[in-house]
Amino acid sequence: MGKWGLLARVLAPACLAAGLVTGTLSAAQAEDDYPWAWQGQCPIVPQEPIEEPTPEIAPPGKADDGPAGAGDAEPAVEPPPPPPPVLDPVSGHLYDPRGPKPTCARRVWSINGSIGDSWGFVLRNCTSFVAWRLQERNRMAGFGNHFGGEHWGNAANWDDVARRLGYRVDDVPAIGAVAQTDAGRVGHVAWVSAIGPGTVTVEEYNHGVAGGYGSRTVPVGEFRYLHLADVAPSPLLGSDRPVVSVPDGLGDSSRARVDDRGTLWISRPGRPMRVAGPRRAFSPLAAPALALDRTGMPWIAATARDGRVLAGRLRDGRLRLRAVGSSAPTASPALTLTRTGRPLLATTSPDGTLSTRRLTQQGRWSRPARVGRAGAWATHVAPVLGSDRTGRTLLVAVGADGSTAVQTVERRRLLRLPGARASVTSTPALTTASDGTTYVHQVGADGTLRVRILRGRGWSRPASLAGEWSPYASPAVGVVADRLHVAAVDTRGDLFVRAAVPGERSRLTGRVSSGDPTRSPGLVTRSNAGVFVVAGRAARSRLLTRPASAVVVRTAPTRAGFTP
């Protein structure tokens, strides 16, 4: 931790289920809907009484006539009446404006003798305000000091209680998450209202203003984050990958990527990466989609920064992209070729509506065919297209509520898969192995990596692969050493490669450490070199296996255009 982060933690406030010490940062006002704002009274530090001024006596005057001393005494000058008392909104007490404002001896407010709110927390403290936010904004009905049968108590306890109840606690913020720190005497909690690159904006009580509301923007690392009932994922999380790759059946693959500046790159086997489309025009939060036609030429689709989806085919060394739909900037499109050899495109709009389009015989894209209910789909993951052993085209998508559905596109039948809630920030993987078995690999909201197998026309119940996996990164599945393997990122940000079929063991060992649980991996097959895993955007790669062996060694690219 740097010196500024350490200093911020030392100065950070603490907030009780019952009271807190002050912080040093000024609060920026935003919206305060707390029902007891500026209500109640706190115990105040005794103040010195204000001494009323004594009447002033005018100096003696001199009379022109009369006996000596006559007319010397003047009437007393009465002082002005004391001003009316003023209500101090912080302490809740009336005070004489000629004296200092009242100061709270303890940051505990009472209304009609009670210091507790309706949920068992102390009035106008950080815990009380966050409890109110969770109910009003997150729709987390019933949240209180004994929610889930646990005593939440002081703010410093909240992360431990959340973990015991099975909620995710990590370093990745979300809109509506609880920002929590143990710093200070009894910790502090706040409500996440906005997220920027490396920053988080929180709303809180009893931090910069005693018993009052404030909003501030701080580095993400100031807090840990409790995901109790998030309103929305971070707007900076999407379905990005360092590279997408499609094997060509000859031991090599075509590749595509969008770099951090938003430039789309594409490469055919044995050729270097080249720019496709306008530079810096594409969303760096959404990976492109890639498919090969029957001649091995690539079709590509990518999400632009403005939400348009551009798609086209590489022909005669030129790639012409056309706008064919719209998408959330955090959602990749999906692309595949159907039995007829024509491309099929799936996109998720910014409002969460999933639709498909086909390229017609006339070379035009069809009108969108909506899938499921409008607005029902997650916008931080990509839909997934593929085919089973019979050639049927399958569409896999994640709902905004974490449900998972599969559609057989030719029949337009949508099937909701059983099982626990999926992560809405991790794209599933749809794979048909060399033996014809079709699998769906998916990370759940609880960090479990689950596998479903297509048997006939039905899907098996999910089986779990060992590990604690990041719900922010998408697994990559491919054939390594003649067996199906999955590359996935754990909650610490380390990348592992495991056997993708439950019950099978892998001869691959080792891991790639990145420390970032939001970076999805990519798998690349290279002619006469093996299969590589690409982790993060720093172009770090590791050789998984050569064609004749199964080893894990450090390597560097030997042909231009392999890594991002």
Given 2.70.240.10, 3.40.50.1000, 2.130.10.10, 2.30.29.30, which CATH number is that of 244-554?
2.130.10.10
pLDDT of residue 479: 86
Task: Count Cβ atoms below 10 Å from residue 451 Cβ, excluding itself.
Answer: 21
Distance CA 243, CA 300 (A): 13
Task: Count Cβ atoms below 10 Å from residue 413 Cβ, excluding itself.
Answer: 10
Distance CA 560, CA 286 (A): 24
Q: How far is residue 461 from each of residues 26, 419, 442, 454, measured CA to CA in Å?
A: 53, 7, 13, 10
DSSP letter for 45, please: -
DSSP-based three-state secondary structure for 540:
strand
Handedness of CA 56, 58, 59, 60 (dihedral sign): negative
DSSP-based three-state secondary structure for 421:
coil
Where residue 45 falls (left for φ over 0; alpha for ψ -120 to 50; beta otherwise) is beta
Length of the chain, in residues = 564
CA angle 261, 523, 301 (to 5 degrees): 50
* Contact call for residues 421 and 413 (beta carbons, < 8 A): no
What are the two backbone dihedrals, phi and then psi, of residue 10, each rounded to the nearest 5 degrees? -65, -40
The enclosing H or E element of 49 equals none
Token output for 115: 């210091």
Pairing of strands 274-276, 264-267: antiparallel
- HSE-CB of 17 using CA atoms within 13 angstroms: 14
Distance CA 118, CA 123 (A): 9
Token output for 467: 């590990």
Nearest by Cα to 217 from 200, 205, 235: 200
Token output for 546: 């050569």
Nearest by Cα to 468 from 440, 498, 439: 498
Distance CA 394, CA 344 (A): 11
Q: Which residues pair with 538 in a beta bridge?
A: none
- Provide the Cα torsion 135, 139, 145, 150; round to 10°: -170
pLDDT of residue 72: 57
For residue 48, count CB atoms less than 10 angstroms from its CB and return exposed for 0-12, middle for 13-18, buried for 19 or more: exposed
Strands (E), 23-141: 56-57, 76-77, 86-87, 94-95
* Contact call for residues 254 and 292 (beta carbons, < 8 A): yes
pLDDT per residue rounded down to tens, the chain (564 residues): 333 333 233 233 446 543 333 333 333 346 899 999 999 999 999 888 887 777 666 666 554 555 555 555 566 677 788 899 999 989 999 999 988 999 999 888 999 999 999 999 999 999 999 999 999 999 999 999 999 999 999 999 999 999 999 999 999 999 999 999 999 889 999 999 999 999 999 999 999 889 999 999 999 999 999 999 999 999 999 999 999 999 887 888 999 999 999 999 999 988 888 999 999 999 999 999 999 998 889 999 999 999 999 999 988 778 889 999 999 999 999 999 998 889 999 999 999 999 999 999 898 999 999 999 999 999 999 999 999 999 999 999 999 999 999 999 988 889 999 889 999 999 999 999 988 999 999 999 999 999 999 988 789 999 999 999 999 999 999 988 778 999 999 999 999 989 999 999 887 767 777 778 999 999 888 776 778 888 766 445 666 765 433 333 444 444 333 333
Token output for 109: 């407010």
Distance CA 206, CA 124 (A): 7
- Provide the Cα torsion 410, 431, 539, 513; round to 10°: 140
List the alpha helices (DSSP H) in 216-333: none
Task: Count Cβ atoms below 10 Å from residue 9 Cβ, excluding itself.
Answer: 15
Distance CA 178, CA 204 (A): 10
Residue with tokens 């590489």: 314
Task: Count Cβ atoms below 10 Å from residue 156 Cβ, excluding itself.
Answer: 21
Q: How far is residue 493 from each of residues 235, 327, 467, 488, 490, measured CA to CA in Å?
A: 20, 28, 12, 9, 5
DSSP-based three-state secondary structure for 347:
strand
pLDDT of residue 384: 98
Domain parsing of the chain, residue ranges = 3-42+107-227, 244-554
The domain 3-42+107-227 having CATH identifier 3.40.50.970: the answer here is: no
DSSP-based three-state secondary structure for 72:
coil
* Contact call for residues 264 and 258 (beta carbons, < 8 A): yes
Q: Which residues pair with 486 in a beta bridge?
A: 477, 498
For residues 16-31, one letter each, b for 16 or more C-beta atoms within 10 angstroms of the residue's C-beta and e for the rest, the string is bbbbbbbbeeebeeee
